[in-house]
Structure 1
Amino acid sequence: MDHTMKRYEKEMTNTLLSLLSVNSVQGEPAEGAPFGKGTKQALERFLRVAASFGMQTKDLDGYCGYAEIGEGELLGIPFHLDTVPFGEDWSHSPLGEVVTQGEERVIYGRGTEDDKGPAVAVLYALKSLLDECRTPKRRVRLIAGLNEESGWKCIEHYLATQEIPALSFSPDADFPVIHSEKGVCHLTLTFDLPQEVYSFSGGERVNMVADRATLEVATLSDAAFSKCLKGGIKVKMTEKGFLLSATGISAHGSTPEKGENALLKILYAVKSSGDFLADLYDAFHQTDGSGLGIALSDQKSGALTLNLGKAETQNGKVILSLDIRYPVTFTEKDITERIAKAMPQATLTVVGRHLPLYVDPHSELVTSLMDAYNEVTGENAKPIAIGGATYARAFPNAVAFGPVFPGEDSKIHQKDESIALSAFLRAAEIYRRALEKLAF
């Protein structure tokens, strides 16, 4: 493996820590900052560094921005600087901290992998080539989104107002190349609460596994009380009955099996206390969607995943938010029709969607990126499919590429999100090689 990027270790680390120190979870809109002041500040810091490398920069009304260099056909590299909420119980600061663990130095913070870390790795990979006085054969444009985790209005603004790249890769997933991304359907199911259930709530975002949940009920069976005790669920007596509180382990909504869903944890404990609660548990606890009749799969992209991400109680109704990632050969209609049939007592509303992505694994874009990855790592890897939704599906001729290496214990959307410094530099080496092939 080349070690060119080792020379930039200190600069890369300091730039990443500067970005991590900004809380860029979407906030209240402000002038020039439609997604909150934190996202705007993160963008300004990134563009300031890019400008110091001689790149032309532009803030696109606070929705997003870009840094560009070179002439000719446009290569786009879209990423995002907003993050999901921090959550609780971090071992180290979610606003950036370098920790020595054995022989490895590890950078902790929300966004180290998703997606501030990869943004910095690509930026310095490009700088390393420019420092060698090499002239790009394509224009290279680093496109910084600020609303990826909460709706993609940033990239919609870019697509409506700016030049569309001829080819793109997004450093917002896994290595090697992601040539296929499942379709995404975010929907809500609204139920009337039975009299014995007062409230059910938990979760922060539909695309995160819920790590907190509460349930208030009029009665609690002996069996349910025993399960609560065994499962570490807190039970408190109230004037109306019992308040249950559970904690879980967050994970990305596209990989619900990697977390522990606090909403499902409570439902499992109390399913003997009433048909309504038992029906909810039976419908949602299997992450392949079989409880809703949507356990679909195909050879191109694999199996469907289901995440019960949020529960809210309003005016005697409970609203459950689902994150569904479905195989590329199926449609949203295939999903919603099956759920409506399985849950006729609920009102179904689709609140967000991303169509599937599929790029020919033998295309020039995919083979060039695969060659870059294999040359640096010494592997003979092949392109893969994921359930995550990246900016790649917003652009023509685009794929996702890194930064998480195969076999890594990723903490994306979890507490203690982090990146080992060695992996950070290795990813930058791969991005450098990719830029050499596509733009120099």
Structure 2
Amino acid sequence: MERQYPAHPVPADLVPAAPTAAELALLAQLDAWFAAHRDEFIADLIDWVTYPSVSDDTQAAPGAPFGPDVAAVFERVLARAAELGFQTETHDGYAISVLGDPPSGAEEIGLASHLDVVPAGENWTIAPYEAFYRDGFVLGRGASDNKGPALVDLYLLRAFRDLGINLQHRLRVIYGGAEEVGMADLEHYAAHYPVPRLSIISDGGFPVNFAQKGNLIATIDFAAGPQLRGLKAGVAVNAVPATAGLVLAGLDPVTVLAATDRLPADLRSRLSVTAATGGTHLLVRGQSGHAAFPENTLNAITLLARALADSGLLDDPADQAAAVFLAQVLDTPWGDGTGTAIADDETGRLTQNGGIIAPYGDGLRLHIDIRYPVAADHETLLSALTRAASGVGGQVQTVRHAFPVYIERESPLVSLLQSTFNTFAEVDSVPFSMGGGTHARVLPNSITFGPGFGRDRVPVVNGVRTDSRPDFIPPENGFPHGPDEFVSIDNLWRGFRIYAITLIRLDKWLQHG
């Protein structure tokens, strides 16, 4: 995809070292407006999160290419925008738009995000789609990824209209419905509908995201014996599996427990053994999370493979070979087991997640999500996967691939956004790269910028910590793509106010080019 970002300089008076008096006065108005609408914002977010909007093209229908659940949340959001008096557009069921009040000019600034979510998965302590508000947080699948940020975009349109903030560019909020499963949503939009002159992707964290790793989704088909052929685990290739289990036919619980006693204590602590019809059920509990951020996660497929490979429970040589292969391939989330490990200074280490495994033919199919640094080449990675799979006769296939995103750190656009964020957050942060992928991969002239403060990059804003979390969920829960997902309303408000100033500055800068 060709990227054509504005290259003209940013006037010095547009990015002063401190907020201007006019900007401070406007922030006071914005803060008062958000406070007056806070309860309504929370109610809207709870409403949106109750929709289990998992994209599923196997249930596609005319006008609903991603299935009925995405279509339902689109319908609800369109209705809410219409209730608020905004013009809306539908884009063949792939995406929807909400338009700000038109200025005199025809060019647009976009705010793009998504309303689809990953499947709920396991290990929740709350009902994933019975969203609720407590202690400053909204909890439920999609609260932070990405319905909270998506709602910020709509409320910006409201605030600008209510406060009489007039721009020379029209604001267009674009909501996709398949960001989590390949981004065909905004690929379709970009191919068939007008693309804004510049868009902010509101599906990330502050400060400015200047680079995203490439993304390679692949499958490995390999042989297995009679025991492992029934193995099925994982809910999404881009989520670390929380649990993995298997019925060991013909084995009683006493035998299985005796065999697992030889395993390391930390692995044994994650196993549960129960009687099952015709055998014994062996279950492993890992720790789920986003595939692009595997720190503090534990892949349950990996743990189960290790337990089976090292316990001596598998008599069939094909089963044993399959378990050893799985344990090796998924040995670390950094690609060490497949020979794909690589890193660079700009984008860090490659990550590799075995997200789904399921029966396939006479064996198994493993779905792998690789996020690779800018310095790597996806063809080389495929060759390494093929070599790793050859020992068990495995076949590797590419499901989809996205090249890395890279925007020059010193470009005028990055500099404007970074300076604005640092000034109004009262921090001294720098642009960052990440393994997570956003619609910046497919929407021309777009850049990911907030509205979150995630993963310890900006733990303090305006002297206040942004890393608070609910004290009523387990410490390992609460992350995007994991159980007990939550979002801080105060953090969304902080993102809202920074976005407002940023849009005003972007509007002025684009008038110079």
- Could you state the TM-score of these two structures normalised by the residue count of structure 1? 0.92
Aligned residues: 437
Does residue 12 (structure 1) correspond to residue 80 (structure 2)? The answer is no
> Which residue of 2 is the match for residue 180 of structure 1?
211
What is the alpha-carbon distance in structure 2 between the residues aligned to residue 353 and residue 369 of structure 1? 29
SS at match of 1:203: coil
Structure 1 match to 2:412: 364
Partner of 2:328: 282
Query: Does the Cα contact within 8 Å between 1:224 and 1:271 map onto a contact in 2?
Result: no
Structure 1 distance, partners of 2:278, 2:368, is: 29
Q: Deviations over 1:193-238 (max 9, x none)?
A: 1355443220011010011212344676954354398233223456
Give, in whole Å, the separation in 2 of the partners of 1:241 and 1:52.
57
Deviates more, 1:249-258 or 1:296-305: 249-258
Residue identity in the other structure for 1:419: V
Cα drift, residue 31 of structure 1: 4.0
CA displacement, residues 241-289 of structure 1 (integer Å, 9 cap, x when unaligned): 5432222221011112332211112112222233431232122121110
1:379 alignment partner in structure 2: 427
Corresponding position of 1:73 = 107
Match of 2:359 in 1: 313
- Residue type of the partner of 1:320? L
SS state of the match for residue 289, structure 2? coil
Q: List runs of 5+ in structure 2 lacking aligned partners.
A: 1-23, 313-319, 457-466, 470-477, 509-513
Find the counterpart in structure 1 of residue 403 from structure 2.
Answer: 355
Return the alpha-carbon distance in structure 2 between the equivalents of residues 324 and 293 of structure 1: 12
Q: Distance in 1 between matches of 2:160 and 2:426?
A: 22
1:25 aligns with 2:54: yes
Are the structure 2 counterparts of residues 190 and 216 from structure 1 closer, same or farther at C-alpha, using a change threshold of 3 Å? farther
* Separation of aligned partners in 2, 1:195 and 1:111: 38
Matching residue within 418, 440, 443 for 1:392: 440
Q: Is the 8 A contact 1:16 1:120 kept in 2?
A: yes
CA shift for structure 1 position 187 = 0.4
User: Which string of whole-angstrom CA distances, capped at 9 and with x for unpartnered residues, describes residues 34-89 of structure 1?
Assistant: 22222122122223333344432101121111112333322222111011112234
Give the match for residue 300 of structure 1.
346
Distance 2:170 2:130 in 1: 32
**Residue aligned with 2:371, SS:** strand
Please state if 1:256 is matched with 2:294. yes
Aligned partner of residue 48 in structure 1, secondary structure: helix
Paired AA for residue 24 in structure 1 = S
DSSP-derived class of the 1:343 partner: helix
Residue 234 of structure 1 corresponds to: 272
Structure 2 residue 260 is matched with structure 1 residue 224: yes
Instruction: Give me the CA root mean square deviation.
Output: 2.3
Whether the 8 Å CA contact 1:305–1:325 is kept in 2: the answer is: yes
- Residue among 450, 470, 474 paired with 1:402: 450
Whole-angstrom distance in 1 between the partners of 2:331 and 2:235: 18
Indicate whether 1:432 and 2:478 are aligned.
no
Is this contact kept in 2: 1:203–1:211, CA < 8 A? yes
Q: Deviations over 1:8-53 (max 9, x none)?
A: 2122112212211222112422342222222122122223333344
Please give the TM-score of this superposition, normalised by the length of structure 2. 0.80
Instruction: Indicate how the Cα distance of structure 1 residues 225 and 352 shifts in structure 2: closer, same or farther if over 3 A, else same.
Output: farther
Q: How does 1:51-130 map to 2 (within 5 A)?
A: 51-69=82-100, 70=102, 71-101=105-135, 105-130=136-161
Structure 1 SS opposite 2:144: coil
Q: What is aligned with 2:480? A: 412
1:239 Cα offset (Å): 7.1
Distance 1:62 1:275, change over 3 A: closer
Q: Distance in 2 between matches of 1:374 and 1:189?
A: 45
In structure 2, distance between residues paired with 1:42 and 1:362: 39
Give per-residue Cα distances to partners, 1:179-201, cap 9 Å, x unaligned: 10000001000111135544322
CA distance in 2, matches of 1:119, 1:320: 33
Q: How far apart, CA to CA, are the structure 2 residues paired with 1:163 and 1:16? A: 28
8 A contact 2:190–2:444 mirrored in 1: no
What is the DSSP-based 3-state SS (H/G/I as helix, E as strand, rest coil) of the residue aligned with 2:230? strand
Secondary structure of 1:419 counterpart: strand
Preserved contact between residue 241 and residue 287 of structure 2 (Cα < 8 Å): yes
Instruction: Identify unmatched segments of 5+ residues in structure 1.
Output: none
Structure 2: how far apart are the matches of 1:316 and 1:213? 20
Relative to structure 1, is the Cα distance of residues 276 and 90 closer, same or farther in structure 2, using a 3 angstrom cutoff? Answer: closer
Which amino acid in structure 2 is aligned with residue 439 of structure 1?
D
- For the 8 Å contact 1:359–1:397, the answer to whether it is kept is no
Secondary structure of 2:447's match?
Answer: strand
User: What amino acid is aligned across from residue 299 of structure 2 in structure 1?
Assistant: N
Q: Deviation of residue 316 (structure 1)? A: 1.8
CA contact (8 A) 2:123 2:242 kept: no
Greater alpha carbon shift after TM alignment, 71-80 vs 57-66? 71-80
Residue aligned with 1:270, SS: helix
**Amino acid paired to 2:340:** I
State the one-letter code of the partner of 1:169.
I
1:268 paired residue number:
306
| Whole-Å separation in 1 of the counterparts to 2:138 and 2:420 | 25
- Distance change (3 Å), C-alpha of 1:256 and 1:130: same
Which stretch shifts more, 114-123 or 39-48?
A: 39-48
Distance 1:126 1:361, change over 3 A: farther
| 1:266 counterpart letter in structure 2 | L
Distance 1:158 1:198, change over 3 A: closer
Corresponding letter in the other structure for 2:153: V
Q: SS of the residue aligned with 1:313?
A: strand
Q: Is the 8 A contact 1:310 1:320 kept in 2?
A: yes
How far, CA to CA, are the matches of 1:8 and 1:439 in structure 2?
A: 25
Question: Structure 1 residues 198 and 56 mapped into 2: Cα distance closer, same or farther (>3 Å)?
Answer: closer
Q: Partner of 1:153 in structure 2?
A: 184
Contact 1:126/1:432 (CA < 8 Å) preserved in 2? no
Partners of 1:221 and 1:281 lie apart in 2 by: 20
